[in-house]
Structure 1
Amino acid sequence: MKDKRPRNISPGDIMAMQLPITAKASILHRISGVLLFLLMPVLLWLLDFSLSSEQNFLQLKSVLDGSVGKLATLFAMAFLIYHFCAGIRHLLMDLGYGEEKESGKQGAVAMMVVTAILVALTGVWLWL
């Protein structure tokens, strides 16, 4: 007799599954939210550090003006942009748009394309 209990799924099992684009968008939305939550104390500490004195502000500015600082800023902005765009998509779904299978797929693809464009523009803005 086959056991019908739910079994634990490892991250490797999830990576092997062929999930639809809507599921991938939802999972990435959750991951971006967790990363933003974990990043918040670091960002608040950096804000506190930069506001404590002019010397600390200039020191932090010089770090963030470097390539590593710009890359870290781009990653943080990418998490924020993705989470924002996915949140707008979810709000539209709450209003009844994009709830069907095909329109949900199109909405997920459109959201990812808009996110990619905004992240690319952010990268150009950071390096110019």
Structure 2
Amino acid sequence: MSLNVNKQRPVNLDLSTIRFPATAVASILHRVSGVILFFGVGILLCLLGMALASEQGFADVAGFANNPFGIFILWGILTALAYHLVGGIRHLIMDMGFWEELDSGTSSANVSFAITAVLSVLAGVWLW
């Protein structure tokens, strides 16, 4: 059985021309932040285990936390946590029947980006 597929349909292979709406970006970033948190919890549990194992392990974790790379990793985890929390609250409010229209959904997505940016800067100031 052959399907009659129109071979003349337009195909856009230039992904840089595609512009997602703010609501789609917010949804995708919420999922990405969840994946980052999944792996971030593993990193934090590993650091906790090392810190509790011995005095040398604690010193190693303290050295990691004072290293710029370690601070960057911790900042990334805190930023992902902030976005996931703000995005989760946004989704809960939408589940209650608010901000379901396109305009209000776009506005709430943009506000969640702004709140996350502020929280990310605050986390960076606190860590650095």
Tell me the TM-score normalised to structure 1 length: 0.85
Judge which range, 18-27 or 37-46, deviates more.
37-46
> How far apart, CA to CA, are the structure 1 residues paired with 2:61 and 2:74?
12
Is structure 2 residue 81 aligned with structure 1 residue 80? yes
**Which amino acid in 1 is paired with 2:79?**
A
Is structure 2 residue 59 aligned with structure 1 residue 58? yes
What is the CA distance between 1:68 and its match in structure 2?
1.4
What is the CA distance between 1:88 and its match in structure 2?
0.6
- Identical aligned residues as a percent: 41
Q: Counterparts of 1:13-92 in structure 2 under 5 Å?
A: 13=15, 16-92=17-93
> How far apart, CA to CA, are the structure 2 residues paired with 1:87 and 1:126?
24
Provide Cα deviations, 1:67-103, integer angstroms capped at 9, x if missing partner.
1111111111111111111001000101111101100
In the TM superposition, structure 1's runs of 4+ consecutive aligned residues that sit over 6 Å from their partners are none
What is the CA distance between 1:47 and its match in structure 2?
1.2
Q: What is the total number of aligned residue pairs between the two structures?
A: 121
> How far apart, CA to CA, are the structure 2 residues paired with 1:38 and 1:31?
11
Tell me the TM-score normalised to structure 2 length: 0.85
Q: Which runs of 5+ in 1 are unaligned?
A: 4-9
What is the CA distance between 1:43 and its match in structure 2?
2.1
Q: Which runs of 5+ in 2 are unaligned?
A: 8-12
Bigger radius of gyration, 1 or 2? 2
**Which amino acid in 2 is paired with 1:63?**
F
> How far apart, CA to CA, are the structure 2 residues paired with 1:124 and 1:37?
24
Q: Give SS of 2:98's match.
A: coil
Q: Give SS of 1:59's match.
A: helix
**Which amino acid in 1 is paired with 2:26?**
A
Q: Report the aligned-residue RMSD.
A: 2.1
> How far apart, CA to CA, are the structure 2 residues paired with 1:124 and 1:46?
22
> How far apart, CA to CA, are the structure 2 residues paired with 1:40 and 1:66?
19
